[in-house]
Amino acid sequence: MEINAGDMIGQVLREQGVNFLFTLCGGHISSILTGAKKEGIRIVDVRDEVNAVFAADAVGRLTDTPGVAAVTAGPGVTNAMTALKNAQLAQSPMILLGGAAPRVMKNRGALQDIDQISLVKSITKLAVTVRRNCDIISVMENAFDVCRSGVPGPVFIELPVDLLYNESYVRHMYGVKLETEPDGGVRSKLLDFYLTRHVDKMFACEFEEMEPGKTSVRSADFNKSQVPKAMEMIASAQKPALVIGSQAMLHPAIIEKLTAAVETLGIPVYLAGMARGLMGRSHPLLMRHQRKKALKNADLVILAGMPCDFRLNYGRSFGSGTRLISLNRSKSDLRMNCRPDLAVLSDPFLFLCALAEVFTAESADWQPWIQELRNNADEREKFINSTSEERTEFINPIFLLKKLNALIDDKSIIVADGGDFVGSAANILQPPGPLTWLDPGVFGTLGVGAGFALASKLLKPESEIWLIYGDGAAGFSLQEFDTFVRHQVPVIAVIGNDAGWSQIARGQVEIFGDDVATVLGRSDYHLVAEAFGGKGFLLDKPEDIDRVFEAAKQAAAEGYPVLINALIGRTNFRKGSISV
């Protein structure tokens, strides 16, 4: 059978260790899908391209292999833009393969022909069009290197449809004759000459002679020279605090080394983004609440893999006398909104591990400080407990989340997609271990849930995947229950249904006195899941929580994707939170 470009792409994906290709079908990319399938790569087709890219993003976060998605030309690419930007800001290594109109028909009104490169180049590390079959392997292999080197991020590869199909079919499509002289007049002959030359250039190489190379990964940048200075600052600190962000989690295969390094250093730690769960549920160094108060009182803060953005009040979270060590792969993130006393342009994972190798535990006594932070956290826990006991319409959301937290086992993965309900969940749910919490990242994108949950379950089939939805966010990807059913992906989704965009309404009503555009209905979301072939449960009474959760777990164990439509009331737990 004639080899085509899609077959070569499939071979490259196989050599790079790709197991899943996320997609929504389209005529422009058919050969990519069939070629990848031939190589044993599982094709996972979704109902909206954006969710294919979210799924690829999650693969890049959870494994050492970049995630890969393929979308058709034009609207397929534009539908993927939000997820692509989310991956860029989350620094997730992934590759998006985009179909494109035939090159010879570019700018001639071809179906779905737009300037895709101009659209995506500002939100990717690399955006490139493949013009010859000779370049497919080198462009693809370079994409895998680029997307995970330095500051990781997405790469976009545009593949024109006339390059992807079999050469004989393309020649026939263009009316190119192989062995006979062109008929007709001068204009016809010139057109035939142009088309023949175009096809000859596209297919200049023999596919049979092309072979992808083995995976090659560049080592992460690591600056060991500043370890002594950092150790000097740590040794002199009386109240140090360590804040670990997502960028420190870029070595998932050896993530336990980072956990061990934090234990060795003995510095109280606050975890953000993908780092949630790094220390398990109840490690003595883990501080889950009152980070703002701790950073104000600390005399030294080590910021590992996280910039001073809105999450740290643009650098104003630190006290006037706080010294700052910033560890980051990104030059811009390293000094964003702050002037570190020590700025280390380095992989934060490797630098923290290097610190632990030379640290002497006897040199520091931080127990009084650690106890102070624990007391602060205990104070917050008391507030959470008291709030969970308040009576609300339907179910108190804090009570519901506390019940769920007690149910989540050590293999579970939590996917967070929402505003107010998920903001509460971030305070209450305790990820059981490293890489067991996924949220959008710094972009705060609603709609990541189904794609993240899909990839998580495919990668970790033995784990329960708990997808925590706000009722507003659920509307972005509820149709992917069809995907869960077709691909036998039994996730458990819990919708906190308070009939509104509560994160927005909380501030809007207080400031402007108007809830316009923030009101939803208490819709029967569980029936949507049932309609797609999943299992749906309505949960509207607190006394039914245990029964419904257990029934949901049982249904998932039997292979059904599950949606729990939990009708919740409102509390003042997140009063004062803002949405900008």
Taking only the tens place, the pLDDT of each residue in 538-560 is: 999 999 999 999 999 999 999 99
Q: Beta-carbon neighbour count of residue 144 at 10 Å?
A: 24
Place of tokens 């995976």: 215
Rounded CA gap, 144 and 58, in Å?
A: 16
What one-letter code names the amino acid at 37? K
Rounded CA gap, 98 and 304, in Å?
A: 34
User: pLDDT at position 210, please?
Assistant: 64
Is residue 404 very low, low, confident or very high in pLDDT (cuts 50, 70, 90)? very high
- Looking at CATH, the fold of the domain delimited by 389-567 is given as Rossmann fold (3.40.50)
Is residue 203 very low, low, confident or very high in pLDDT (cuts 50, 70, 90)? confident
Is residue 258 very low, low, confident or very high in pLDDT (cuts 50, 70, 90)? very high
**Domain ranges, ordered by start, for the chain:** 5-209, 224-359, 389-567
pTM of the model: 0.93
Q: How much is the CA Rg of the chain, to the nearest whole Å?
A: 26
Taking only the tens place, the pLDDT of each residue in 477-513 is: 999 999 999 999 999 999 999 999 999 998 899 999 9
User: pLDDT at position 579, please?
Assistant: 53
* Two tokens, residue 48: 């909206």
Which CATH architecture group holds 224-359? 3-Layer(aba) Sandwich (3.40)
Residue 24 has pLDDT above 90, yes or no: yes
* Two tokens, residue 329: 């792969």
Taking only the tens place, the pLDDT of each residue in 259-272 is: 999 999 999 999 99
Asked if the 5-209 domain carries CATH number 3.40.50.970, the reply is yes
Residue 182 has pLDDT above 70, yes or no: no
Is residue 166 very low, low, confident or very high in pLDDT (cuts 50, 70, 90)? confident
More confident residue, 165 or 342: 342
Residue 187 has pLDDT above 70, yes or no: no
Mean pLDDT of 47-61: 98
User: pLDDT at position 180, please?
Assistant: 47
- Whole-Å CA distances, 265 to 235, 260, 262, 387: 10, 9, 5, 35
Rounded CA gap, 197 and 222, in Å?
A: 49
Residue 167 has pLDDT above 90, yes or no: no
Residue 177 has pLDDT above 60, yes or no: no
CATH fold match for the domains 5-209 and 389-567: yes
Query: Which of these, 78, 63, 214, lies nearest to 148 by C-alpha position?
Result: 63
* Two tokens, residue 182: 């062109």
Note whether 483 and 452 are within 8 A (CB): no
Taking only the tens place, the pLDDT of each residue in 55-97 is: 999 999 999 999 999 999 999 999 999 999 999 999 999 999 9
